[in-house]
Amino acid sequence: MNSRNSQVHTHSDPKVDFYDSTYNRFDDSIYCEIRREIWQEDFGQNGWITAQEQDQFIQWLSLGSGQRLLDVACGTGGPSLRIARKSGAHVVGIDIHRDGIRVAQRESARDGPAGVATFQLVDAQGPLPFDDGSFDAVMCIDAINHLADRTRVFAEWARVLKPGGRLLFTDPAIVSGLLAKDEIAVRSSIGFFVFVAPETNDRMLAEAGFQLTRKADLSEATAQVAADWHAARQKRSAELTRIESEETFQGQQRFLNVTARLAGERRLSRFAYLACRNEASHLIPAASQHCK
Ligand SMILES: C[S@@+](CC[C@H](N)C(=O)[O-])C[C@H]1O[C@@H](n2cnc3c(N)ncnc32)[C@H](O)[C@@H]1O
């Protein structure tokens, strides 16, 4: 660790309002401007994903017309709609946030080709309201760290996937270096948060009946997005403080600042995992099975 660690604020760590304040005001011009400044292509994302990354994910998942993709924790649905438009797949987006799903349903009705993406309010920690084998692919971007019981979550994803179906998720909370207590507190200040050791997802995927086919370190791009997000908001600090309150504005800035630093220094890494569901029952050892 370096001397900059001493700059981390020590607070009694109240929860920082991140999703409520963003999803409630998603269309306000100041938030659209900020997103355009960070991502150039603003497709309504509310995490670390870039257009370039998403294009790569569509390719990895071999998504095409007639296929069905489940987007777990889809936020306001912009990323799901972009995938539907680009790939021709039918996307079902689910999220626990009422305002996120409200925006997603409105956007889908407004500019999505009819029936191409649908959105439902669902807690991804519980049983999913979908039949066994009803999806060709499952995706979850920057949200697995908010779900408590990963064994159960992976089991549900395996259940709703067809045999041989593909899974792609990003995990922005892989502990790959030294983390100070205050850094962990600020990084997790936006809500429930799970941090994992580098090989944990690999092991748990195998136990759930998946074969890991690709793993990519996306930390550098994540650090850049977080730093750009922080800078774009800082430039508009007076107006944002008025809209969000001083406490929320400062809390989000600390969160973005720590995210940029930890990812940039590879102490908290963000990885993408591509896996496929074994063809047969997951009780058969993964080594003796083949994904297509
Ligand atoms: C960082 S955002 C990512 C949103 C979107 N995937 C994207 O890339 O823009 C994380 C999302 O996880 C959702 N989330 C958190 N806990 C959840 C749960 N138990 N079930 C479903 N969604 C959840 C939040 O509401 C939020 O929309």
CATH superfamily of 3-279: Vaccinia Virus protein VP39 (3.40.50.150)
| Contact status, residue 146 vs residue 193, Cβ threshold 8 Å | yes
Is the CB of 143 within 6 Å of ligand 1? yes
Q: Report how far residue 147's alpha carbon sits from residue 164's, in angstroms, rounded to the nearest whole number.
A: 24
221 Cβ contact list (under 8 Å, min separation 6): 48, 50, 52, 53
Is the CB of 226 within 6 Å of ligand 1? no
Is the CB of 16 within 6 Å of ligand 1? no
Summarize the confidence of residues 12-26 as an average pLDDT: 81
pLDDT confidence of residue 21: 79
CA distances from 79 to 91, 108, 111, 249 (A): 10, 11, 13, 25
User: Could you tell me how many residues make up the chain?
Assistant: 292
pLDDT confidence of residue 95: 98
Distance (Å) from CA 121 to ligand 1 centroid: 11
Is the CB of 140 within 6 Å of ligand 1? no
Q: Which one, of 202, 112, 125, lies nearest residue 156 by Cα?
A: 125
Question: How does residue 110 score in pLDDT terms, banded at 50, 70 and 90?
Answer: confident
On the question of pLDDT at 89 being above 70, the answer is: yes
Per the listing, tokens 């200040």 go with 189
Is the CB of 44 within 6 Å of ligand 1? no
pLDDT confidence of residue 45: 92
On the question of pLDDT at 28 being above 60, the answer is: yes
Summarize the confidence of residues 126-147 as an average pLDDT: 98
Is the pTM value of this prediction over 0.95?
A: no
Structure tokens at 245: 């309150």
On the question of pLDDT at 240 being above 70, the answer is: yes
Distance (Å) from CA 169 to ligand 1 centroid: 12
| pLDDT tens profile 142-179 | 999 999 999 999 999 999 999 999 999 999 999 999 99
pLDDT confidence of residue 113: 59
pLDDT confidence of residue 6: 36
Distance (Å) from CA 74 to ligand 1 centroid: 6
| Contact status, residue 104 vs residue 23, Cβ threshold 8 Å | no
Alpha helices in the chain (DSSP H): 19-24, 29-39, 51-60, 78-87, 98-111, 150-160, 181-187, 200-207, 219-235, 237-244, 246-264
On the question of pLDDT at 12 being above 50, the answer is: no
Pick the range with the lowest mean pLDDT from 103-117, 216-230, 269-283: 103-117
- Averaged pLDDT score across all residues of the chain: 91
| Contact status, residue 122 vs residue 42, Cβ threshold 8 Å | no
| pLDDT tens profile 209-224 | 999 999 999 999 999 9
Pick the range with the lowest mean pLDDT from 198-202, 206-210, 287-291: 287-291
Q: Report how far residue 80's alpha carbon sits from residue 89's, in angstroms, rounded to the nearest whole number.
A: 10
Q: Report how far residue 246's alpha carbon sits from residue 240's, in angstroms, rounded to the nearest whole number.
A: 8
Distance (Å) from CA 176 to ligand 1 centroid: 23
